[in-house]
Amino acid sequence: MKEDIMEKAIQGLHHITVLASEPQRNYDFYSKVMGLRFVKKTVNFDAPDVYHFYFGDETGTPGTILTFFPFPQAQRGTRGTGEATLVSFAIPFGSMDFWIERLSRFDISIDGPDRKFGQDMITFLDPDGMKIGLVEDDVRHLQGWETSELPRDHSIRKFFGATVRLNSSQASENLIENIMGFKLAGEQGHLKRFVSGEGDHQAKFDIKIDPDGRPAVQSAGSVHHIAWRTESDTTQREWLKKLRDGGFFTTDVIDRNYFHSIYFREPGGVLFEIATDEPGFMIDEAYDELGTGLKLPEPYESRRKEIESRLIQIRQDVSLVTV
């Protein structure tokens, strides 16, 4: 008998989307300092006068994709509860000293290494104040992106996970364990760690409980939403039904060109998305052209000149690319 499709749990992260300020500074930091590939330059489908940048591995594999809505001159957000407060990446074993030295050369202040759930992590802030973590993990067999300034041996491979800060966690835990299929992996102080997915797809999801914390005020440097991955449109429709049957209000399926999405808020206030692996980022650009052109959703194509005139043009450093 064919396995019931919903017996499968969510298989890790698809992407994480963050609010930013200056688009050029955002591009420079993530492509040059962090060494991620700029895989897509498009616009916010709901506000086409704002860019939507995608960074990831060489093809934008689900589980590697960090995306940004850069709002020029936006002020920094205020950290608090009801949001993700840390986005962490996995780097190969033996790479920590390389990254400490590299970040120091860019005058980036580093905290750590600190031990968390048996693994060392360093943390630092991006130009808009988003907190980033780097964790050594068993990911050498994954294909990272290489630039002229950052060798593949030390490159970021995928997301390690994300940390959210909540006033209380019982209802959120019920969602992620009993509906989405996450597994409790451990507790350390005020942190609870859950895992989603297996093998290369596994992602850590940490909940920091802060009963007296004030709600976050989102702006530049704030995580807008966390997207979890599902294999196909068929499985996504099953998730849509399961979430609604569980009492969650979700959007209908929304076509984002490179994946299809449904959105809902988990009980602690964090915006979740479930996104499909397909069709991916090469439906409108070849491998060696990824991120080079401004791609617009079809409804906006007739307004291209108007939209381009409103966007701040960014300088893309082609010398970084090693295709």
Compute CA distances 286 → 42, 57, 281, 291, whole Å.
15, 15, 9, 10
pLDDT at position 203: 97
Give, rounded to a whole angstrom, the gap between the first and last alpha carbons of the chain. 45
Q: Stretch 45-58: mean pLDDT, rounded?
A: 96
pLDDT mean across residues, the chain:
94
* pLDDT 10s digits, 235-286: 999 999 999 999 999 999 999 999 999 999 999 999 999 999 999 999 999 9
Q: Which two tokens stand for residue 296?
A: 């617009």
Whether residue 2 has pLDDT greater than 50: no
How are strands ordered across the β-sheet holding 260-265?
37-44, 47-56, 65-70, 13-20, 223-230, 271-276, 260-265, 254-255
Closest CA to 262 of 281, 235, 284: 235
pLDDT at 1 over 80: no
| pLDDT confidence of residue 320 | 65
Q: Is residue 6 very low, low, confident or very high in pLDDT (cuts 50, 70, 90)?
A: very low
Return the CA Rg of the chain. 19
pLDDT in tens, 81-93: 999 999 999 999 9
- CB-facing half-sphere around the CA of 195: CA atoms within 13 A: 11
pLDDT of residue 322: 54
For residue 267, say if its preceding peptide bond is cis, omega within 30 degrees of 0: no
**Per-residue pLDDT for 5 more than 50?**
no
Answer yes or no: are the C-beta atoms of 113 and 121 closer than 8 Å: yes
Check: pTM over 0.85? Answer yes or no: yes
Compute the CA torsion angle 101, 104, 105, 108 (nearest 10 deg): 140
DSSP, collapsed to helix, strand or coil, labels residue 46 as coil
DSSP state, residue 33: I
pLDDT of residue 318: 64
Residue environment code for 307-323, b if the CB has 16+ CB neighbours within 10 A, otherwise e:
beeebeebebeeebbee
The confidence score (pLDDT) of residue 149 equals: 86
Q: What mean pLDDT do residues 197-207 have?
A: 94
pLDDT at residue number 44: 95
DSSP state, 216? P
Judged against a pLDDT cut of 70, whether residue 321 lies above it is answered with no
Q: Give the fold, CATH level 3, of 5-320.
A: 2,3-Dihydroxybiphenyl 1,2-Dioxygenase; domain 1 (3.10.180)
Q: Give domain limits for the chain.
A: 5-320
Q: Give φ, ψ of 147 to 5 degrees.
A: -120, 175
- 18: Cβ–Cβ under 8 A, 6 or more apart, which residues? 66, 67, 68, 69, 87, 128, 130, 221, 222, 223, 224
pLDDT of residue 148: 87
Helix (H, G, I), strand (E, B) or coil at 195: strand
Could you read off the pLDDT of 18-38 as tens digits, one per residue?
Answer: 999 999 999 999 999 999 999
